[in-house]
Chain A
């Protein structure tokens, strides 16, 4: 097999080399100079206005056939050096593009005419091809740089929260760099880890699985997009329906996120810079008891239980200081984290070539009680070039980023810390060492055990793509994309002995973890385009070959003589637990697309893909995926104009097709043995199933898109129904089979359906005042529609047919026991024991609906943008016990809804049953001012004095206000109650263009 693979590599290389040589010769044949133009230059100035004479700001003024250009300033004026007798092209969204040939004039004032079919202007990236809002047959949402560039987030996807219908982003946690959970149109796979969307950055797929870590990031993993800079992103497209995703075949089931970085085309040459600084805090606190309240409650518990407190069951009453008070929430996460971002970019070019070089530096602190930080540096280069005859085109994009994440080691400052009794002993001794003595007297470990541990996670990421194309004949273009990615994460976890109780005699330790992910991809394509009178045909035939290699090495160094040596393996007494894992994933595919368009009225789009993946056994390696999409722009029909003249645009579209999901581990189909931890041994690590196959997601969608008032108001309504079958899961098994699960395809169907609305309105657009509102709403339904013999299966107590996947089965709460005063839940089948047979109430834990409202306002030089995110959902009240050795909410005592104060075992059991009943379920909906930014464009008169062409100062706030009835810390974690997600951040800075 090795031989076959290398043979293929040679074939690919020869093809690629051949194409390159051929293209290069053709392209450069008539092109002597790349960057220098030797035409005489002259200065052209002018003013661009609308039909009322109001100046238009930000109109792109380009020299036809080149990449040189500028944009108009606040007064609508422009200034450009051009060669004599060139033609200027004026373009602006919402206006018709105007071409003005220069006939020796030095001053050219123009009036632009509003264009009602402006939906054509915005090019939408559909992956292998481009389309427009007007002509698209599929469902693609687009978010642009302007909406996200000011947000102080690490991974760019975090900035999409609330902006896209059908997209749910849940933060991984409050540590910088944690991977968020991204779901497009709900959970398709029964496996949590089978629901990642496909990420494509400038045409190169990125493994979207979070990267493993031993640090605090480990619970969610490291976000693979951390090393991108938000400032460097031009647009993010979210592909949702079959029409848009089927061309990604076996990887499109969970939707596709396309990230396009900025390039130099259409930008006026020059430097742009941005800087901001800010601070973040955790916005919320639980209303916990203070020492006196807490101790009174504890004493009452012993009175109620008729028990004498002693040092074992009541160390807080007997051993500990009765007046000491620590606000453990403040102690654990009350800090302020500081953020700084600096970004710089330079764009330039000549007629045939343009480039953009960008760089950024970002740093963020932590709200936790230690001096830790996150830093990243990114660099990017985009280079585009076309030959004189415009037949050969080249596009190179390089994105490089590195970050250093310094965190507390494995100390998790979660509810186990902030629910400590408020009179618990101090964490540290006077000399700064951890206090073991006082905690130990109570039989406890210091809760800050591990405090002096640190992790340094250093990652760097290169994402590169080279795209070459050559117009072979009129209507036939040869194209190929070559991508290479390399991601490494090197992590050192230091565990100095002083972090641990000396009683254990733990030596100085270190854990090293090195992860590397490399991939290359080659995608040769033929692009066809032909017009037959009113019929326009375009198509693509292409192939993909991709290889991913992942390696992971970890080991432990132990017994360093001094803390200072930790991490220096030469100073370690022993190196232990060395593990080395590597895996390879090969993927090959053929894909094609055929687009038909009759008279710009009727559209048909056919896509297909044949995929092969090395993750499956030999019988199941290949599968076909396809989709059909169509659209009818009914406002183009003459009879419509008679009846629906108030519509400026109307389109009905629909699509149906299949996509697949191969997100499972590599080699899962093999019956394998791995090395044991102990020397010299081999053992089976999982059950083997040689027959598993792809999950299939069949997607159906209908949509209607309307434009009113010259398309000033646009609205789209979509209905979708995705059915995911042949579920591939780590199917839970009873332990008697040897393991807890096995990979297998289940004859089950998960349906995600729902309605989505995306609307936008230009409410006002006058000379001085501009106001635009956009709105999105998603009403999703998730349902397990079929699962034969569910009650016989291992999922009998996890899922219910006809209900969403995200449910919990709960007891019926029956009030307080009149005798004991404890919570009681109903023993439904009256068999004397409480188990799943009694948990007959099904509680839906998914969102009922969610969405966002974004407003952009501008008045003269001021601009204001704010996004309100809203979610309708249920949640679970945390902490409704009283009397135990944990702090609790102060409102519980004396409230007859809650069980009587008790520290007894019975009370604890009653509490745990009640927490699995409907008792704690409450409304956890929220409305959040997700982002707000206020900007001021510095007047030209001032900015010119410092030699800049434009400048802006701004302040930006994240999560400033949240309205929620939920009693937990953060409604983004409605069932944890004590989880912390988004922090409240305020940043301020300025932006300048030179």
Chain B
């Protein structure tokens, strides 16, 4: 009997061991395909990787990808210089005719992808501020880059939607019920992020490629922001700073070289490497270029009214616009590569380039009645396009006329690039004048896209824009 009790005790003992081990047993390490955030920012290499991750994701994020739900396409359709020629694209037609349903899925993709990038920058900034093993020098540089991306993303949100929630941390509990902040508040934050970015960032590109943000990317974006806010003097000052950096940037005489990877006109580009390297063309390339043989797959064209607005000798008409006979359609041809899986990557998606800085300065100068200065800047762009100086067209150039010409020049220079024309029409109050001609149902409230219905159903504090 003693033995039996002994056996029983052994068993109980074994079970006790198993139980205490349980506590440890159910603790597990993270597997080798994920990293906990604290670890990411306790190491310089992984901290840099987290920033690279944001740049990579910009190529995939809908709003910045240059593909079907990007600012480039949707705002291009809205501004009427890009037309949708495939009627099966119902949701895109809504942008084309400025009748966007709040449940439009492209609109939701645009919105949600932008906030996803904002989350990444917020997570990055939080992680960085708690990190210990990253040198001050690197930390400052990375903070500058993250702030630049956040400002850049908010710039498009505030311009496309008006008032938008200003999300600056990763706390979803509070953010899920956030209301819309006024445009002023959003712009204030953009300005603050950009000021810090300008302060923190180095003048050189961190990875030797123009796909990371440097000081000048931030100055260039800041120049644009100040132009939009009609701070003419500041806009002129900032654009002059970029234009003055001739060691880095120049207006390339050959139009076919402008959109190449790391072109000397580029201030900031997004690399197709973010796609994982399956294909190496830009999204704009495959979206817009109409294949000469299989033209029936064409989805978009440049509206003929727009193409007719170019003078015949305009090199942009010749070099940057393609024509397909099968479809009898013009298409943007700034990016020359429709499909490629080759390395090294030939073309990067252009976000900021020098010629915009000239046109910003031209406009800012004209607004400050520096007509001669404005004409000089404008002519630099016209000259590159093979056009005569602007004075040759008019005998008497006044401020109004110069401003109109700058606006026209912007539309011819930046078509199919980041919705420039749409934003220009809106900020200059010319949207109605331009768009109500071809669009009989034009309504002044069409200048803002609707807050996505799905978003409002999840966050009842979000109000809708007027007209939806």
Contact = CB atoms under 8 A, between A and B. Distances in A.
Interface of A: 1-2, 4-5, 7-8, 11-12, 15, 312-313, 436, 440-445, 472-473, 476, 478, 501-505, 507, 524, 526, 541, 543, 545, 556, 558-559, 573-574, 576-577, 579-590, 612-614, 618, 621-622, 666-667, 670-684, 687-688, 732-740, 742, 791-792, 794, 796-797, 833, 835-836, 905, 908
B457 A679 contact: no
Interface string B20-55: 011111111111111111101000001001101111
Contacts of A441: 296
B167 interface: yes
Given A1-B24, A501-B297, A576-B277, A673 B35 contact: yes
Given A556-B278, A573-B341, A612-B25, A15 B14 contact: yes
6 contacts: A8-B25, A502-B294, A621-B27, A674-B33, A684-B123, A735-B112
A687 B170 contact: yes
Interface of B: 4, 7-8, 11, 14-15, 17-19, 21-38, 40, 46, 49-50, 52-57, 59-60, 86-88, 90, 102, 108, 111-112, 115-116, 118-120, 122-123, 165, 167, 170, 172, 175-178, 273-278, 291, 293-294, 296-297, 338-339, 341, 452-453, 455, 457-460, 462, 468
Contacts of B276: 576-577, 677-679
Contact of B56 (A670, A677, A733): A677
Give the 5 A-B CB pairs with smallest separation, nearest first: A738-B119, A503-B294, A678-B56, A681-B53, A735-B112
A315 to B, nearest CB: 10
Contacts of A688: 37
A736 B167 contact: yes
A441 B23 CA distance: 67
Q: Which of B11, B34, B46, B86 has the most CB of A within 10 A?
A: B34
B31 A667 contact: yes
A621 B37 CA distance: 21
A556 B341 CA distance: 13
Nearest to A797: B457
A452 B208 CA distance: 44
Given A678-B56, A736-B115, A794-B176, A670 B36 contact: yes
B400 to A, nearest CB: 40
B339 A588 contact: no
Contacts of B34: 667, 670, 672-674
The majority secondary structure among interface residues of chain B is helix
B278 A558 contact: yes
Contacts of A443: 86-88, 296-297
Given A667-B30, A682-B50, A684-B123, A612 B37 contact: no
A737 B54 contact: no
Contacts of A682: 35, 40, 46, 49-50, 52-53
Given A678-B59, A684-B37, A740 B112 contact: yes
A582 B33 contact: yes
Contacts of A503: 291, 293-294, 297
Nearest to A7: B21
A736 B86 contact: no
Contact of A742 (B31, B172, B296): B172
A681 B458 contact: no
A690 to B, nearest CB: 11
A737 B175 contact: yes
A580 B33 CA distance: 7
Q: Which of A577, A587, A683, A796 has the most CB of B within 10 A?
A: A683
A756 to B, nearest CB: 36
A654 to B, nearest CB: 31
A501 B291 CA distance: 12
Given A733-B172, A734-B462, A735-B112, A683 B54 contact: yes
Given A678-B59, A733-B172, A738-B119, A4 B24 contact: yes
A478 B50 CA distance: 54
B21 A574 contact: no
Given A11-B18, A673-B36, A681-B49, 20 more contacts: A8-B21, A15-B14, A501-B294, A504-B297, A545-B18, A558-B278, A586-B27, A588-B22, A590-B22, A621-B26, A673-B46, A677-B60, A678-B56, A678-B277, A679-B276, A682-B50, A688-B37, A738-B167, A739-B119, A796-B460
A673 B24 CA distance: 25
A507 B387 CA distance: 42
A884 to B, nearest CB: 11
A910 to B, nearest CB: 14
Contact of A584 (B15, B31, B59): B31
A681 B277 CA distance: 13
